[in-house]
Amino acid sequence: MSGTEENKQLLHLVFGGELETPEGITFRYLDELDIVGIYPNYAEAYVAWKAKAQSTVDNAHMRYFIVHMHRLLDPDTAA
């Protein structure tokens, strides 16, 4: 793998909020979504996601997600 491929920026968004039902993906309050941040790779996004998810473990309705922004910005990188 070349140096450029190793350092390729693959943006990931971590966000979450309270869901209407624990089984669903519809947020109860859109204006209260928690935008944790945007990270340059999946590994850093995962660390942030895990910390937020663990901090809200007592609320079954709270859910955090990782969005692969690079796949939305450049569908050719969807691999």
CATH number of the domain where residue 40 is located: 3.30.70.2400
Q: What is the SS3 assignment for 29?
A: coil
pLDDT band at 5 (very low <50, low <70, confident <90, very high): low
Spatial distance between the Cα atoms of 20 and 17, rounded to a whole number of angstroms: 10
Give the integer Cα–Cα distance in Å for 58 and 64: 13
In residues, how long is the chain?
79
46-75 pLDDT, tens digit per residue, is 999 999 999 999 999 999 999 999 888 887
Quote the CA–CA distance of 46 and 43 in Å, as a whole number: 5
Is pLDDT at 15 greater than 60 in this prediction?
Answer: yes
Give percent above pLDDT 90 in the chain.
76
pTM of the model: 0.82
What total of structural domains would you count in the chain? 1
Q: Which domain holds residue 57?
A: 3-77
